[in-house]
Structure 1
Amino acid sequence: MTFSVSNTKVKIALTVALAALMLLAPAFLSEFRLSLLGKFLAYAVLAMGLDMIWGFTGILSLGHGVYFGLGAYGMAMHLKLAASPEGLPDFMSWSGVEKLPWFWAPFQSAGAAIVLSLLVPTVVAFILGYLTFRNRIRGTFFSILSQALVIITVTLFVGQQGYTGGTNGLTNFDTFLGLKLADPSVKLALYYATAAAVLLTLVLCLGLASSRLGKILTAVRDAENRVRFIGYDPVVYKVFIYCVSAALAGLAGMLFVLQEGIISPAQMGIVPSIEMVLWVAIGGRATIVGAILGTVLTNAAKTTFSEAYPDWWPVIMGAMFVVATLFLPKGIVGTCKDWVQTWGRGSGKAVSVLNPAAPLAYTELKKTQ
């Protein structure tokens, strides 16, 4: 007997369950814990975009902290200007800057700040992606280049104290659109806005993964040269999805800074960028939902261990990553899928769950030519 689970039904069920959990969370969590969850959900938006390029397309980016930071800084610049009655941020005055720099001026508008916080990471990703993918730089070499981008960006932001706030970054924000960020009702509204962003991103990524574009991306991951030979240009698709992923990272940065109230170069460095990849790996590559699960669980564990064992939590987290790598190589969601299929075979009931990341994508594309 065979039970076939429709991919569409699985997506709908997972989306509804996730929406219900996020909707009910404020009823069970304290204001502090809800604020932490909101921050983790902002990270989840980035993780889903990272899963699209790594899990589905095979592009391992170790520099997504840059795109997250650019989005966060864009929103922080607007918040800082709104908190500066004289029109010049305090750290600029301390550094001897007497006039607002020209590149700060557009961020006086909230609308412009939102657009630029999405546009700037996308443009940077387009430039890097086009130059590298066009020259067929991939794999380890691309990962090294993405880390070089992190080093350059962090060094630039730290060195330009008078324009970026240096190592301290940007903080001391009061209002957004005239609303007090410290007000509990505003914090709750920001949480729900972040939850809505997670759901919209989930729907977007699941839709892309299930579409013809998703099959092409998976085929590029598994057999890029063959995809090129049957008439597709992998550069176009890789650059496109890389830019989408960068835009989602910028969105995550905006949502993060509104809830956290600070952004500094340390939060866009190499270590945070590697942690972002670990979120996806622990949750499960090429699953989308796994990126959300891995992000929330990993960050929740990090918070819990750092509170309970302040001296030992880095060791505990490291051990957790090692165990997950050795015993859950497909991540939590991927391992659960394997267990379901194993149970189906052992019980004599074949269980089939359609997977948009199946390695047959190239074959399917070839048949449609």
Structure 2
Amino acid sequence: MSFVYENLMGGKKGLTGFLILAALILVVFPVCLDLFRLNLVGKYLTYAFAAVSLVLLWGYGGTLSLGQGIFFGLGGYAMAMFLKLEASSPENTAIQSTPGIPDFMDWNQLTELPWFWVPFNSLTFTILAILIVPTVFAYVIGAAMFKRRVGGVYFAIITQVVAVILTVLIVGQQGFTGGINGITDLRTLNGWDITSDSAKYIFYFLNCFLLLGVIMLGRFILTSKFGRLLLAMRDKEDRVRFSGYDVSNFKIFIFCIAALMSAIGGAMFTLQVGFMSPSFVGIVPSIEMVIFCAIGGRMSLIGAVYGTLLINFGKTAFSESFPQLWLFLMGGLFIAVVMFFPNGLAGIWQDYGHHLTTRLQRAKKWLLLKFGAQPKTLAEDAS
């Protein structure tokens, strides 16, 4: 129990924050929101996987990645490929020139399924691909950069360039990827209708439990010796290196963990929303994920979730009235947070929350004195 309490929940303070978040997304939102709005919240929470991963990578590891959309997209495309193959059975595609292949392949005059699509007929392979492919890709990028001590702004720019390259590749290879439209018309998962209301509720709760699990994994990493080394590397990398540790391996490891978390979010996005496109892979979504993390607090796993929800709720509400101005507002909000509240929402609570806590404690004492002592006095008088 002590292991769970201290390492997975982060002690009394961490457990309180975790339970409040769990109650909010598992009880309050499902009770108070209709299915359409709840599905929107589920979509927002898929972005929170990437925001939480950036807390580990950027907040504690000191490595800013502007390419988390890469891994979010890889996970999403892997799931979309499986769902698209199931929706492209010979019976469903009988009107095509080549039945049994996705419709966009038929439009681009492909006559057979490409070899790298074939394994995605298996759900087991797809789940493994969601977990392994982004992690391996992150390892290749990380090893190429960190082993040569490339970091800081140079690493951020390189990850941004990789996101651009991947986006261009997806758009350009329309016959294999669906191009700019992405992979759409996803209907069933092993014969189960994923567009039904019951499926949307199930995917929402599955998404929530996976997110809470990712937060617990992050807490475990941060409370371990590796977590303390992450902070040491962020503040005094040379000292850690001179102490005999291989800093590059630690950076590669946390980069791979961050990629894995983002990929899970991408796969859940495909299930929640029902499609995947290159618009969720490139520079803009990657920068938005950084903003989610910064607004919530780049040193707080739970704060990153609140930051994601706040920004996306604001985006939905504001863009309905001023769709062209939303990006300017989000950019201005990011600049304001960096300048005045560098630790985000979590930092504001840490700096000023004790005033509210003190007042609540005083109110509790006053209520106890006023209502708790009175019955005792009456009982004594009666005797």
Work out whether the TM-score is over 0.5. Answer: yes
2:210 match: 197
2:363 match: none
User: Aligned pair in 2 of structure 1 residues 93, 184: CA closer, same or farther (>3 Å)?
Assistant: same
1:114 aligns with 2:117: no
Deviations 1:285-322 (A, max 9, x none): 12111111111111111011112333443343333333
2:192 match: 179
Q: Quick one: distance in 2 between partners of 1:43 and 1:57?
A: 20
- Residue 26 of structure 1 deviates from its aligned partner by 1.2
Consecutive unaligned residues of structure 2, counting only runs of 5 or more, are 1-5, 91-99, 359-383
Number of residue-to-residue matches in the alignment: 342
2:227 match: 214
Deviations 1:231-266 (A, max 9, x none): 211111111111011011110000001111121112
1:145 aligns with 2:182: no
1:308 match: 321
1:17 aligns with 2:20: yes
Consecutive unaligned residues of structure 1, counting only runs of 5 or more, are 1-5, 346-369
Correspondence for 1:85 among 79, 85, 89: 89
* AA partner of residue 54 (structure 2): L
Structure-to-structure mapping, 1:206-285, within 5 angstroms: 206-285=219-298
1:321 aligns with 2:334: yes
1:74 aligns with 2:42: no
Q: Quick one: distance in 2 between partners of 1:224 and 1:297?
A: 34
- The range that moved more, 304-313 or 83-92, is 304-313
Q: Quick one: distance in 1 between partners of 2:357 and 2:13?
A: 17
1:94 match: 107
- Residue 344 of structure 1 deviates from its aligned partner by 9.6
Correspondence for 1:60 among 61, 64, 67: 64
1:45 match: 49
SS in 1 for 2:164: helix
Correspondence for 1:287 among 261, 277, 300: 300
User: Aligned pair in 2 of structure 1 residues 42, 127: CA closer, same or farther (>3 Å)?
Assistant: same
1:154 match: 167
1:354 match: none
Instruction: Give me the TM-score of the superposition, normalised by structure 1.
Output: 0.89
User: Aligned pair in 2 of structure 1 residues 164, 14: CA closer, same or farther (>3 Å)?
Assistant: same
1:136 match: 149
* AA partner of residue 208 (structure 2): A
SS in 2 for 1:55: helix
- The range that moved more, 269-278 or 335-344, is 335-344
Q: Quick one: distance in 2 between partners of 1:72 and 1:254?
A: 4
- Residue 115 of structure 1 deviates from its aligned partner by 1.0
Q: Quick one: distance in 1 between partners of 2:277 and 2:356?
A: 48
Q: For the Cα contact (< 8 Å) 1:205–1:288, is it kept in 2?
A: yes
**CA RMSD across the alignment:** 1.9
* AA partner of residue 22 (structure 1): I
- Residue 178 of structure 1 deviates from its aligned partner by 1.7
- Residue 98 of structure 1 deviates from its aligned partner by 0.7
Q: For the Cα contact (< 8 Å) 2:65–2:159, is it kept in 1?
A: yes
Q: For the Cα contact (< 8 Å) 1:51–1:286, is it kept in 2?
A: yes
* AA partner of residue 11 (structure 1): G
Q: For the Cα contact (< 8 Å) 1:175–1:181, is it kept in 2?
A: yes
Q: Quick one: distance in 1 between partners of 2:135 and 2:338?
A: 31
- Residue 219 of structure 1 deviates from its aligned partner by 0.6
Deviations 1:162-206 (A, max 9, x none): 100111110101111221111101100000000001110111101
Q: Quick one: distance in 2 between partners of 1:342 and 1:221?
A: 31
Deviations 1:123-159 (A, max 9, x none): 1100000111010000011111101111111111111
1:299 aligns with 2:312: yes
Q: For the Cα contact (< 8 Å) 2:299–2:343, is it kept in 1?
A: no
Q: Percent of counterpart pairs with the same letter?
A: 44
Q: Quick one: distance in 2 between partners of 1:250 and 1:288?
A: 17
* AA partner of residue 175 (structure 1): T
* AA partner of residue 47 (structure 2): Y
Q: Quick one: distance in 2 between partners of 1:131 and 1:168?
A: 32
Instruction: Give me the TM-score of the superposition, normalised by structure 2.
Output: 0.86
